[in-house]
Amino acid sequence: MKLVIFGPPSAGKGTQAQKLSQKYGIPQVSTGDLLRKAVAEKTPLGLKVKSYLDQGRLGPDDLIVKLIQERVSKPDCKKGYLLDGFPRTIGQAKELDKMTEVDVVLNIVVDFDVLVERAVGRRSCPKCGAVYHIKFNPPANKDTCEKCGSRLVQRDDDKEETVRNRLKVYREQTAPLVEHYRKKGKIADIDGSKGIDAVFEQMVKVVDGLSRSP
Ligand SMILES: [Zn+2]
């Protein structure tokens, strides 16, 4: 079972990936985690990666692909794996095609306005880290943290312009990938506007459907 998950920032992709990994007993292989681990372990590949990260770059496709290749050849990936944050470019997708045939790409689709509303309404406590939402989870006292009484702030990351920009980058980056996999008949669109459980249910339906087909 080889799964790929796509989803825009703040669409709950990380949570869904964790749930899938648990349910199906397959490791979640995340490019971000692999990069951090390689750097921390100072492997030859890790040191190379570090030199790119230090320049604020992710590193060339062949390096990333090598990291992924190393990871999925480990014994715990025998039953399959879930790729998260990979492939990120068409180059990487083509390398992955050479390596293996993925079963399905779970593509979380959410209207960007919904994601903007979720992010822009978020208020965080600078002191204790508690997170609220002015509409979905408002604090009892406006602008004040219920846990420690500090004044809540909107993080820069949650400002509308930043959020929209992040989403735009995601769309530009992912559109060609979605098209690549759609042509191969591998895309399963998942309605990400629902709650965590409803989104997960859709994914399970897709994945369970895979094992039933010959
Ligand atoms: Zn607080």
Q: How far is CA 196 from CA 11, 73, 204, in A?
A: 10, 31, 12
The residue type of 201 is E
Q: Is the separation of the CB atoms in 181 and 93 below 8 Å?
A: yes
**What is the CA(122)–ligand 1 centre distance, in A?**
14
Confidence of residue 86 (pLDDT cuts 50, 70, 90): very high
CA distance 79 to 24: 9
Catalytic choice (37, 48, 164, 166): 166
Phi, psi for residue 60 in degrees, rounded to 5: -70, 160
Residues, beta carbon < 5 Å, ion ligand 1: 125, 127-128, 130, 145, 147-148, 150
pLDDT tens-digit series, residues 133-177: 999 899 998 899 999 999 999 999 899 999 999 999 999 999 999
What pLDDT does residue 37 have?
A: 87
CA distance 180 to 197: 28
At the topology level, CATH places domain 2-110+165-212 in: Rossmann fold (3.40.50)
166 annotated active-site: yes
SS3 content of the chain, % helix, strand, coil (to 5): 50, 15, 30
pLDDT tens-digit series, residues 175-214: 999 999 999 999 999 999 998 999 999 999 999 998 765 5
CA distance 125 to 150: 7
**What is the CA(156)–ligand 1 centre distance, in A?**
18
Domain ranges of the chain: 2-110+165-212
What pLDDT does residue 213 have?
A: 59
78 annotated active-site: no
**What is the CA(153)–ligand 1 centre distance, in A?**
10
Catalytic choice (2, 118, 122, 123): 122
Catalytic choice (155, 159, 168, 184): 155
**What is the CA(62)–ligand 1 centre distance, in A?**
44
194 annotated active-site: no
Count other Cβ atoms within 10 Å, centred on residue 153: 13
**What is the CA(209)–ligand 1 centre distance, in A?**
45
What pLDDT does residue 58 have?
A: 65
What pLDDT does residue 171 have?
A: 93
pLDDT tens-digit series, residues 95-135: 999 999 999 999 999 999 999 999 999 999 999 999 999 99
pTM attached to this predicted model: 0.86
Q: Is the separation of the CB atoms in 105 and 188 below 8 Å?
A: yes
Handedness of CA 189, 191, 195, 197 (dihedral sign): negative
pLDDT tens-digit series, residues 2-60: 999 999 988 889 899 999 999 999 999 998 888 888 888 888 888 887 788 777 676 78
13 annotated active-site: yes
183 annotated active-site: no
Rounded to the nearest angstrom, the gap between the alpha carbon of residue 38 and the centroid of all alpha carbons in its chain is 19
Beta bridge partners of 83: 4, 29
Catalytic choice (2, 13, 71, 118): 13
Q: Is the separation of the CB atoms in 175 and 8 below 8 Å?
A: no
CA distance 155 to 167: 17
What pLDDT does residue 60 have?
A: 81
